[in-house]
Amino acid sequence: MERIVILGGGFGGLTVATELETLAASGKAKVTLVERNTHFRMGFNKQWVLDGRRRPDEGRRPYASLRARHAAFIRDAITAIDTGSRTVQLTSRRLEYDHLVVALGAELAPELVPGLSEGGYDLFDDAAIPRLKAAVEGMTEGTLLVAVASTPFKCPPAPYEYALLLDDMLRRRKVREAVRLLLTTPEPQPMPTAGKVVGAQIRALLEEHGIEFLTQYKPKAVDPTTRIVGYDNGAKIGYGILAAVPPHRAPKVVRDAGLTDASGFVPVELGTFRTSAPDVYAVGDVAAIKLPGGGPHPKAGVFAEAEALVVARALAAEVAGVEPTTYAGIGTCYVETGGGMAAPAEISLLDPSGPRARMESPSVAGLAAKEEFERERFGRWFGG
């Protein structure tokens, strides 16, 4: 029986395990999913906790209720991957594989910017969000600085959404006029892969909400005592509250396995998601994928899922002869704009003339579609 081991129970790993359920049930393959956490939650849940739509203990699902009943679920930390001996070391045991899917996401590395951990709140860390919420709720004046530390980062619209949601929080408390809200990013424009039109739409939203916006600003160091961020371009910005998107890289266990390149992520072939190691695939945030024009493939749950589906079908085709599927590179994100609205943005990455994106106007229906996005995935992966 073929042994398929899936590392990581996020968007990518959950999709592979769910998609291989029929194969596992048929007895033709032993499917094992390894994840260190007890519960899954979506990235945007952090934003809903920040602005008070959810409590920190809401919006999660236990791996104990996985719908992929024929997959073995192991809750453990992965400590080593050896593609030579085709083994994975966990804290408690060693697993052998015939096919390995690495879906371990991105590791957050705030320590790569000196002072960032001490001086700022990490917008991508669940634990930091309630503390940031309390700080913003106590703010009556000064500068609230949202800073993107480096690229790539997961969810290209996330910093823009955060700035708009923070604006909304301050407006609700009627202190917005007294607070300077500022967003800096090393990017040349918002969501570069989505193109100039979507970039201009996001800029217009920021402007409409009085959010100052500076591009090609890469933080070099943060001084937590004086509360000043120093940038690569020599600029310095003082802040009362700093909320940052930290640097991202592949998790240490993946880097130690020799699977990464200079990008800090795992290079894979677009469409097959095969790594340079035999029978090892990488999907989602952990992967470095180049689009046909040479640009970077964006990191987002919706794409992790689409890539994982292709890999799962390729494995099912190899083991059981079922029909494989090709990667379309199409995904929709629901860009939160505050005020109970979101703007659906569809992007088609593999268009022959380059990535093509279209973003609708913000609407209440757009946010309802985002809520449905979550409900649908929870149902598909966990039932109920």
Q: Is the CA virtual torsion 242, 59, 285, 359 positive or negative? A: negative
Q: In terms of CB distance, is 227 or 366 closer to ligand FAD?
A: 366
| 189 touches ligand FAD by CB under 6 A | no
Distance in angstroms (rounded) separating the CA atoms of residues 41 and 165: 20
DSSP class per residue in 86-132: TEEEESS-EEE-SEEEE----EE-GGGSTTHHHHSEETT-GGGHHHH
Q: Angle between the 11-19 and 301-320 helix axes, to the nearest 10 degrees?
A: 30
Stretch that binds ligand FAD, among 110-118, 211-219, 282-290, 359-367 (CB under 6 A): 282-290
Among 169, 194, 205, 333, binds ligand FAD (CB under 6 A): 333
Distance in angstroms (rounded) separating the CA atoms of residues 293 and 297: 10
In the complex, minimum distance from the CB of residue 10 to ligand FAD, in angstroms, rounded to a whole number: 2
Distance in angstroms (rounded) separating the CA atoms of residues 78 and 33: 11
Residues 247-266, mask of contacts with ligand FAD (x by CB under 6 A): ----x-x-------------
Q: What is the token pair recorded at 32?
A: 């094992």
| 78 touches ligand FAD by CB under 6 A | yes
What Cα–Cα distance (Å) separates residue 244 from each residue in 70, 160, 272, 346?
A: 40, 12, 34, 26
| 312 touches ligand FAD by CB under 6 A | no
Distance in angstroms (rounded) separating the CA atoms of residues 184 and 242: 11
| 104 touches ligand FAD by CB under 6 A | yes
Q: In terms of CB distance, is 77 or 322 closer to ligand FAD?
A: 77
Largest CA distance in the chain: 65
Stretch that binds ligand FAD, among 43-51, 165-173, 206-214, 357-365 (CB under 6 A): 43-51
Beta bridge partners of 2: 29
| 296 touches ligand FAD by CB under 6 A | no
Q: In terms of CB distance, is 227 or 250 closer to ligand FAD?
A: 250
What are the b/e assignments for 259-281, b being 16+ CB within 10 Å? bbeeebbbbbebbebebebebbb
| 35 touches ligand FAD by CB under 6 A | yes
| 110 touches ligand FAD by CB under 6 A | no
| 338 touches ligand FAD by CB under 6 A | no
Among 22, 28, 37, 176, binds ligand FAD (CB under 6 A): 37
| 41 touches ligand FAD by CB under 6 A | no
Q: What is the token pair recorded at 289?
A: 């994928």
| 302 touches ligand FAD by CB under 6 A | yes
Distance in angstroms (rounded) separating the CA atoms of residues 43 and 188: 24
Residues 141-180, mask of contacts with ligand FAD (x by CB under 6 A): -------------xx--x----------------------
CA contacts within 13 A on the Cβ side of 245: 30
Q: Total binding residues for ligand FAD by CB under 6 A?
A: 35
| 10 touches ligand FAD by CB under 6 A | yes
Q: In terms of CB distance, is 160 or 239 closer to ligand FAD?
A: 160
Residue 351 is classified by DSSP as: -
SS3 174: coil
| 43 touches ligand FAD by CB under 6 A | yes
| 105 touches ligand FAD by CB under 6 A | yes
In the complex, minimum distance from the CB of residue 348 to ligand FAD, in angstroms, rounded to a whole number: 15
On whether the CB atoms of residues 35 and 75 are closer than 8 A, the answer is: yes
Stretch that binds ligand FAD, among 42-50, 53-61, 142-150, 183-191 (CB under 6 A): 42-50
| 366 touches ligand FAD by CB under 6 A | no
Q: Angle between the 158-172 and 195-208 helix axes, to the nearest 10 degrees?
A: 20
| Contacts with ligand FAD, residue ranges (CB under 6 A) | 8-13, 34-37, 43-44, 46-47, 77-78, 103-105, 124, 154-155, 158, 251, 253, 284-286, 299-302, 304, 333-334
